[in-house]
Each structure stands twice: as structure tokens, then as C-alpha cells.
């Protein structure tokens, strides 16, 4: 049914149509999984080595095993399709081209953890993909693969209801606890952990959260076996990954390749290289929140979680952002920081205030009115955000700043002044709109 290199987005025309999906073995793996004990399904996924594709790269099977075996409360599955990370655009490919494989993965996951209700959370801006996925889900309901019809279709008493939940466009709702608050109808604030979702999630009930791409791999693992899946790509991070390549490349797009593929191969052999054969100055390998890599240090770097960690970055959402030699990194960093400043939920002071401070400093740098001391101030503010917030948005805002300055300090320093002037608009009326050397300003 699937080729080794194309697990999530196989090259089958019109696979988004339920009849085409069924002709290619669709929903047979759910039937196969329902015949197994839930623990067998969890063990299979665990042995396969499938790791989350949403950013943390945590073992999917291990996460499923955290769900309590016996409880009086209902259990829930949340599918994170928020995909608001700048540079990430892979999950929408699944919604559009292979939605039924995702639905089948949801059914199998629900059986494994004992959940009867699943929520597919999709970012508000994805109007097109919400409609496409809802159409596929409606077709699955009509065919008896979801809901009450499952009894006749699969010959089982197990039933799953799947709901599409449209977000309101807040980046913070990509964080799992904010996502749950949003589904409950509350403001998208992250929750303090512990307790973790498996113990206290939606409406205080046990909940598991998985990324869209993660669950789309599950039917294939049930079909081909964990040995087959674990043999693909990097041994510690097996399977294929949807690499979203953007920026200064000739052929931007989503490429499904084995994990551990060389970063330079993805850029030059698949994405067509850099326009004008220019040199690469910088690459962010996993979406805008991940530490950037210098263009002159890319040789030998493989695109899997462990290899990128050794290289000083992270796989994140595998959104590869390429910047050529003419890129103004101060402008790039200011734009990234503006995003995280805008999207901070405001719950934690370091993030709420620190992102704004970083943006002000970067704007001054962009205007050419900053000194080398401002670089140290910028990194200091980032360090005070990093690790001091409830959720990972703090790290998402701090990492690009601190690592960009650290790894490209020579370029930043070349654009700094020895002396700057600061406008003092609130002095006496006759001095308004004047500027003073910063050394002369006293508080």
C-alpha cells in the first residue's frame, strides 16, 4: 500500500476521496487494531520508535501508556493541528491530501488509550483545510467508519466520535494545555504542570494530545509492523518526516523523506538550491523558534532530533527556513521577535514584558541606533525569559534571539555604533523632540 519513502503522503491520485482510500486498503488497519488488545497496540507503536512530529519528538507509544487503565472519568484524545509556528506548513498537506489516514490513526489511538471522543483542533486561519477535513470526516461518518456506524462496519462495540474544533488564530493554543482551555471555551492560557494531561486534561479528565503527522503514521505501523517502520531513517528517530522548506530556495515545499536525511541534501537536491547560487548565511531547521545554524556549518548535519541536538539546534516542526548571504539578520530577528511579542498570552511576566523589551532593542538596532552593549542587554533579557515561564513560548521567543546573536555576533557588531543618541521627548517643553548622547542622560 505504501512505499518506504512516502508513508504519510503516498503518491496515490485522489487519495483524499474515501473510495480511493478504501481501494488502497484504507480503514483495514483500524479493523486489524480493534482485534488487538489496547496494550498490544501501544506496545507496537512504542517498539516502532515513532516520536511526536509536533516539536518535542517524544515517544508516541510511551505517551499513550501514561493514560490510566481504569478510571471512572471519560478519556479524550486531542489532535493538535494548530500549526501556527512560522515556517511550518506540513499538517495542512495531510488535511488536504490524506485526511482519511489521519482519521484512521485517530481511531486506532482512541482504541489504544480507551477514548471515545476525539477533538481535531485546527488553527482558525486554515479555513480551506478545515472545510476539506470536515468533508472527509463527514464521508467517514456516512460510510460507518466513525460514530454509531462502527458497530456494523467493524463488528465491534467500540465507538469513537470525532469533532473538528476551529481555533481563533492564537499561536499559544498550539501549546497542549492552552489548546485544551480553548476547547473548553476558556482563554488560551497554558496550565501549570503537573498535573499532566493524562491525569487531568479536558474538563479534568484523562487526555492525550498528539500532532496530526504523528497520528497519520499509526495506520502504516499497524499495517507493516514496528520492525519495518523502525528500519527507516535514523534508528533513534525512525520513519519519514515531512520537511517544510521555505525561504531562499528554488523549489520551496513539503518533502517527505527518511529521518536523518542530510540538511544539505534537502536544500540542494530536493529544494533546488539557492537562487543565483548564492551562499547560505543562516538556516533555521525546525520552525522560527528553533536555534539557527550558520550557513558555513551545515555540512554533515542530519535532520533528526538527536543529530540536530548535537549541532546545537532542534528538529521542532521540521520547518527549514533558508536565508542567503544577502539576508539582513537583524531584520529577520526583529520580525520573529515581533511575532512572539504579539502572540504572548501575557500570563507570565518574563514573557509578557521581555518580548517587548527585546523588540524595542531590535528596532533600535534595525534603525542603526544601537551599541555593542545593546547586544549584551538583548541576550540578558532573553536569558531572563528562557526557562522562567509556564510554557515553552518563552523559550520560543528567547532562543532565536540569544543563539542568533551568539552565532552571528560579528555581523551584529559590524552594524553597531560606538555612541548613540536617545530622544528625550518628555523633558521641558522647549527641549521636546531633541536628542542627547546617551552618556549625558541622567535618571
Band (437; pLDDT cuts 50, 70, 90):
low
Average pLDDT, the chain: 94
Average pLDDT over residues 31-53: 97
pLDDT digits (tens, 9 = 90+) for 334-362: 999 999 999 999 999 999 999 999 999 99
Supply the pLDDT for residue 434: 66
pLDDT digits (tens, 9 = 90+) for 139-197: 999 999 999 999 999 999 999 999 999 999 999 999 999 999 999 999 999 999 999 99
Residue 49: all three cell numbers together: 520508535
Supply the pLDDT for residue 427: 58
pLDDT at 92 over 80: yes
pLDDT digits (tens, 9 = 90+) for 249-264: 999 999 999 999 999 9
Its pTM stands at 0.93
pLDDT at 2 over 50: no
Sketch out the chain's domains with CATH numbers: 18-230 (3.40.50.11540), 234-313 (3.10.20.600), 329-414 (1.20.1440.230)
C-beta separation of 403 from 383 below 8 A: no
Amino acid at each position: 500500500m505504501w512505499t518506504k519513502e512516502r508513508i504519510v503522503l503516498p503518491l496515490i491520485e485522489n487519495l483524499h476521496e474515501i473510495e480511493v482510500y478504501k481501494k488502497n486498503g484504507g480503514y483495514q488497519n483500524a479493523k486489524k487494531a480493534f482485534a488487538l488488545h489496547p496494550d498490544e497496540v501501544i506496545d507496537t507503536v512504542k517498539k516502532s520508535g515513532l516520536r511526536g512530529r509536533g516539536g518535542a519528538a517524544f515517544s508516541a507509544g510511551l505517551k499513550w501508556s501514561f493514560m490510566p487503565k481504569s478510571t471512572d472519568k471519560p478519556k479524550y484524545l486531542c489532535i493538535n493541528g494548530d500549526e501556527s509556528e512560522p515556517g511550518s506548513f506540513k499538517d495542512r498537506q495531510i488535511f488536504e491530501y490524506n485526511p482519511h489516514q489521519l482519521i484512521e490513526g485517530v481511531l486506532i489511538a482512541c482504541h489504544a488509550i480507551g477514548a471515545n471522543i476525539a477533538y481535531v483542533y485546527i488553527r482558525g486561519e486554515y479555513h480551506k483545510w478545515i472545510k476539506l477535513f470536515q468533508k472527509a470526516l463527514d464521508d467517514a461518518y456516512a460510510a460507518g467508519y466513525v460514530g454509531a456506524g462502527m458497530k456494523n462496519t467493524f463488528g465491534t462495540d467500540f465507538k469513537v466520535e470525532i469533532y473538528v474544533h476551529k481555533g481563533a488564530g492564537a499561536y499559544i493554543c498550539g501549546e497542549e494545555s492552552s489548546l485544551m482551555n480553548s476547547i473548553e471555551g476558556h482563554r488560551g492560557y497554558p496550565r501549570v504542570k503537573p498535573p499532566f494531561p493524562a491525569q487531568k486534561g479536558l474538563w479534568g479528565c484523562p487526555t492525550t494530545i498528539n500532532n496530526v503527522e504523528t497520528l497519520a503514521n499509526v495506520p502504516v505501523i499497524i499495517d507493516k509492523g514496528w520492525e519495518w517502520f523502525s528500519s527507516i531513517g535514523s534508528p533513534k528517530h525512525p520513519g519519514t518526516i515531512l520537511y517544510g522548506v521555505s525561504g531562499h530556495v528554488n523549489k520551496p515545499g513539503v518533502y517527505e523523506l527518511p529521518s536523518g536525511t542530510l540538511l544539505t541534501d534537502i536544500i540542494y537536491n530536493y529544494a533546488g538550491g539557492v537562487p543565483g547560487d548564492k551562499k547560505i548565511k543562516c538556516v533555521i531547521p525546525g520552525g522560527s523558534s528553533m536555534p539557527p545554524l550558520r550557513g558555513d556549518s551545515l555540512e554533515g548535519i542530519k535532520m533528526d532530533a538527536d543529530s540536530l541536538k548535537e549541532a546545537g539546534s532542534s528538529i521542532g516542526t521540521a520547518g527549514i527556513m533558508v536565508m542567503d548571504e544577502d539576508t539582513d539578520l537583524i531584520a529577520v530577528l526583529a520580525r520573529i521577535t515581533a511575532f512572539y511579542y504579539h502572540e504572548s498570552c501575557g500570563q507570565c511576566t518574563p514573557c509578557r514584558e521581555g518580548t517587548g523589551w527585546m523588540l524595542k532593542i531590535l528596532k533600535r538596532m534595525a534603525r542603526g541606533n544601537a551599541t555593542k552593549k545593546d547586544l549584551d542587554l538583548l541576550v540578558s533579557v532573553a536569558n531572563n525569559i528562557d526557562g522562567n515561564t509556564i510554557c515553552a513560548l518563552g523559550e520560543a521567543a528567547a532562543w532565536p534571539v540569544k543563539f542568533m546573536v551568539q552565532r552571528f555576533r560579528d555581523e551584529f557588531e559590524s552594524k553597531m555604533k560606538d555612541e548613540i543618541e536617545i530622544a528625550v521627548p518628555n523633558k521641558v517643553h522647549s527641549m521636546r523632540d531633541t536628542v542627547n548622547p546617551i552618556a549625558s542622560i541622567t535618571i
